[in-house]
A and B are shown apart, each in its own frame.
Chain A
Amino acid sequence: MEPLIKMNQVSKYFGDFQALNKIDLDVNPKEKIVICGPSGSGKSTLIRCLNRLEEHEEGTITIDGIELTDDVKNLEKIRAEVGIVFQHFNLFPHLTILENLTLAPIWVRKTKKKDAVDLAFHYLKRVQIAEQAHKYPGQLSGGQKQRVAIARSLCMKPKILLFDEPTSALDPEMVKEVLDVMVQLANEGMTMLCVTHEMGFAKKVADRVIFMDEGKIIEENTPDEFFGNPQHQRTKLFLAQILH
C-alpha cells in the first residue's frame, strides 16, 4: 500500500535554529498517529509543514503522490485534501457557524450552495451542534467551538486530518466532548496525525505513538509498547512527567 504521507529527511530552520532535524515518517491510509514530546520539540512545526503553513528547507514531503513545493497549484490541491484543527480553533468570528462550514466547500471545491449547506448540517449533526448553526463563534463554549472547527475541516472531505493540541486550550470538563468526536472519527477510518498529550486517547485509537525531542523523532512504537516498555531514557523521563 502506498503511504499517504511520505516525509524524507525533512529539516526546517527558523534562522539558525533547527526546528526539525532530518525527519523520516510514512503514514499509511487510515493510520492514526499520536505525536508527543516536550514543549519546543517541534511537534507543531512538523504538523504545520504538512500543509505548508511552514516551509521546510531540506528533504521532501509527498502527500497523496503530490510533492509539496512552491508550486501554488499543487499547494492548493494538497491543502484541500489535508484538514487541520488548531489549538485555538481559529473559527472566523464574522461568519455564522454555518457560513464557517460552507465557505471552503463553496469557494475551493466549487460545491453548490445548497449542497454545501446540506453537507454542513450533516457534519454539524455528527458533532452534535446542529442547533447552533446560525449562531456566531463568539456565542459558543470552547468545546463547541472546537467541535465546529472539526466539522469545518470535515466539510472539505479531507483525506488526512491534522490536530495540533486540539484539547489543550479547553476547560477540563470540555475535553471529553472533543475527544469523543475524535475517537468516533478514528473509528470511521480517517487518517489522523494528532499532537496531543491525552494519553488515554493515544492508548485507545493510536496505531503508532511518536515521541519527539529537539526536532528529532526519538522513538516510535505501538501504544502498548510505547507506554509499557519505552526504550529511550528521554522517553521514560517524559512519560514519568506527564503520567506522574
Chain B
Amino acid sequence: MNTKIRWIRKNLFKGYFNTALSLSLITFFLWFFYNFFNWLVIDSVLLGDADTCRQASGACLAFIVDKTRFIFFGFYPESETWRPITAIVIFFIIVFYSRLKTRWNRRLLFNWMYCGLVIWLLMRGGYFGLVKVETNNWGGLPLTLMLATVGMIFSYPIGILLAMGRQSKLPLIKYLCIIYIEMIRGVPLISLLFMSSVMMPLFLPEGFSPDKIMRAQGAIIMFISAYMAEVVRGGLQAIPKGQYEAADAMGLTYWQKMKLIILPQALKIVIPPTVNTAIGMFKDTSLVIIIALFDLMYTTKASMQDSNWLGFSVEAYLFVALIYFIFCNLISRMGRLFEKEFGA
C-alpha cells in the first residue's frame, strides 16, 4: 500500500507543474466518463421506438437492438440467420485451434480447407435441403471476415514468393516482381476494386464471370500481396549473409535453403509488420462498399438511413467501431501470441 502511494506521488504529483497537469487530466477524464456513462447507461433507451429515443437524452440502444441482425448479416434471409452464425462459430473454432505452433502441420491445412468448404456450403446453400442464398445477398460481418481472412491466407504466400522473386538472380523474374509490386503499390485499393468489378469482365471469356465477391476478393489479394512482399523483403534483408552461405555450403538447394533456414528466421522478424498489414487489410475491406458489396460498414450505414430510425448515427458508428476494435484487437493479440510462440 505504502509503495503504491509513493509511486503515485513520484509519478503524478512531483512539482507544481506535474500536479496541475495530473489534476486537470484526472478532472477531464472523470467528467468525460461521467457524461459518457450517463449517456450510455443511465439516460439511454433500451426498449422502445424512435420516438421514445428522441424524448430521452441518452443513447438509443433500442435502435442498435433492432438493427443488430441487419448490421451483422445484411440481406441474408432472416429465417436463415442461424447459418452465418454457425459459419462464424466454425471460423472462430478453427482460428482458436490454430493458435499453437505445435499444431501447424499438413493436417491443419486440410482442416482449414475443410472448414472453408463447410462454411461456403453453409452460406451458399442449395444442398442438403438448405435454401440457396446468392452471394449477392451475403453481407455484414461474415463478408468482412471472409474478405479479410481469405485475403490474408492467399496474400501471405504470394507476398513471400514476390519478395523472393524480387531478390532473384534471374533478371526476368526479378523485374517482373519489381514491376508488379511497384505498380500495385502505386494505385489505391479503391481503383483496383473498380477495375476488378468493371474492367475484369471485359477481359474474361464470355460466360465465365466470377461473382462480385470473388472479384473483390481477387483485387484485395492482389493489393495486399504487394504490401506483404515488401514486409517479407525487410525480413529477408535482415538475415546475415553468413546464414545464406552456411546453407549453400551444405549443398542445400535454393528451395530447401529458403524453407529451412531463411524464411523461418525472416518471417519471425516481420511478425509485427505482418500483423500491421493484416489489421490494415481488415479495415480496408470496408472499401468494397464502392462496388456495392454489403460489408459490415455498409450494413451499418444502411441502418442509419432507415426512415424509421433517422438521427441515431452516433450510436451506429460507436457500435460498428466497437466491432472493428474487437476484431483488430484480436488480430493484434494473435500477433503477440505468435511472437511468443516463435520466441521472437
Contacts and interface: CB of A to CB of B under 8 A. Distances in A.
Interface of A: 51, 53, 76-77, 79-80, 82-84, 86, 88, 90-94, 103-104, 107-108, 156
A80 B265 CA distance: 24
Given A83-B249, A103-B250, A103-B260, 19 more contacts: A51-B248, A53-B245, A76-B251, A76-B253, A84-B249, A86-B245, A90-B243, A90-B245, A91-B246, A92-B243, A92-B261, A92-B265, A94-B265, A103-B252, A104-B251, A107-B252, A107-B256, A107-B260, A108-B256
Interface residues of B, number: 18
A80 B247 CA distance: 11
19 contacts: A51-B248, A53-B248, A53-B249, A76-B251, A79-B249, A79-B251, A86-B245, A86-B246, A88-B242, A90-B246, A91-B246, A94-B268, A103-B260, A104-B250, A104-B251, A107-B252, A108-B251, A156-B250, A156-B251
B250 A86 contact: no
Contact of A80 (B243, B251, B261, B268): B251
Contact of A94 (B245, B250, B256, B264): B264
A49 B84 CA distance: 62
Nearest to B265: A94
Interface of B: 240, 242-243, 245-253, 256, 260-261, 264-265, 268
Contacts of A90: 240, 242-243, 245-246
A104 B242 contact: no
A53 B244 CA distance: 10
B23 to A, nearest CB: 48
B210 to A, nearest CB: 40
B249 A51 contact: yes
Q: Which 7 A-B pairs have the closest CB atoms?
A: A79-B251, A90-B246, A90-B242, A104-B250, A80-B251, A108-B251, A84-B249
Nearest to A103: B260
